Amino acid sequence: MVMSSDTREIRVFENSMHKTVTSDPADQGHLMRTWLKLVDGDVLLVYTLALFAVGGMRFLGAAANDVHKVLEVNAGELLAFVAIYSVIKSKIDTIVLSRADFAILSACALLFLPPEPHSPFLGATIAGVYFWRRGGDNTQLASVGQLWLAISVYEMWGPLFFRIVSAPIIQAEVALIGKAGEWLGFGLIMDGVLLRSPSGWFVIVIEGCSSFHNVSLAILVWLSLLKLGGAKVSRSNLAALGVGVITIVCLNALRILLMTPSEEYYAFWHAGNGAILFSCLTLSAIAIPTMISMRRRG
């Protein structure tokens, strides 16, 4: 009997499938162990994604009418997630989690259950410190731990600390804005945290107006860029962070100053296209010096 080419191909395929199904159990065990090693890194990614889901939903809900804050969340936190993904998938070291590692992650994951919005980031702080110290020679685990800590500072510890020291910081920022307004001829009258223009329009500087939030975001972006570039913290990188922070504080003071002439100016710089421009300039203020410092280091 003469078989067609299609029939021969089908039988060859069936034989290969039979060999695959009836392969040596030892080989199957090896494949299973290899698969589990790959999953170890994915566990870290899933935990990270859960953190960003919690933080992103909270900020998007609070900033529904504030375009520039939505842009900050999308750009800053997305960059941090990309950095963690890049670190885990770089395969510089093999990521194999121990039973203790899984126990710590499981305990920290339980902190997603309470209704308190800050509790997941308390867990991220614990996990971040643990993996940073546990990483040792494994630079990937140490980097993931450091980025989790930076996320926790941005989402929880920074805002909590700011509530304690907000009064003197806001007063200092108002004094800076008033001095800049005097130099530029805005003719502002300062009354505590209130800035009044000659037209009668006034702006009150509250906690949400402070540049402190932008500074904590800058630290997160700075560390994410270092991890994406495979760079270690150095004097030039720290100098770049300092330049970025000073620039962000000055940009925020200028933005508030530009809100003072009238209600139209306020609308443009607070929630209009001016707010989007400010967010882009804020991210550039930390990204450009950081990338220049890494390039010079390289």
Residue 202 is inside which H or E element, if any? strand 202-204
Residue 173 covered by a domain:
yes
* Separation in Å, CA 30 to CA 21, 23, 35, 36, 39: 15, 12, 9, 10, 14
pLDDT class for 56, splitting at 50, 70, 90? low
User: How far from each other are the two terminal CA atoms of the chain, in whole angstroms?
Assistant: 70
Residue 193 covered by a domain:
yes
The Cα–Cα gap between 48 and 100 comes to: 18
Q: What does the pLDDT look like over 218-228, one tens digit per residue?
A: 999 999 999 99
Residue 204 is inside which H or E element, if any? strand 202-204
Residue 91 covered by a domain:
yes
Q: Are 76 and 220 in contact (CB under 8 A)?
A: yes
* 280: amino acid identity, one letter: C
Q: What does the pLDDT look like over 141-178, one tens digit per residue?
A: 889 999 999 999 988 898 889 888 888 889 889 989 98
pTM score of the predicted model: 0.78
Confidence check: pLDDT of 108 > 80:
yes
Residue 15 covered by a domain:
no
Residue 16 covered by a domain:
no
Residue 18 covered by a domain:
no
Q: What does the pLDDT look like over 177-210, one tens digit per residue?
A: 988 888 988 888 888 889 999 888 999 998 888 8
Confidence check: pLDDT of 30 > 90:
no
Q: What is the DSSP string of 32-65?
A: HHHHHHHHHHHHHHHHHHHHHHHHHHHHHHHTTT
Query: Tokens 């890049």 belong to which residue?
Result: 86
* Mean pLDDT, residues 42-70: 69
Q: Which residues span the domain enclosing 273?
A: 26-297
Residue 110 covered by a domain:
yes
pLDDT of residue 13: 40
Number of separate domains in the chain = 1
Q: What does the pLDDT look like over 237-285, one tens digit per residue?
A: 999 999 999 999 999 999 999 999 999 999 999 888 888 898 889 989 9
Residue 209 covered by a domain:
yes
Helices 139-152 and 25-62 pack at an angle, to 10 degrees, of: 20
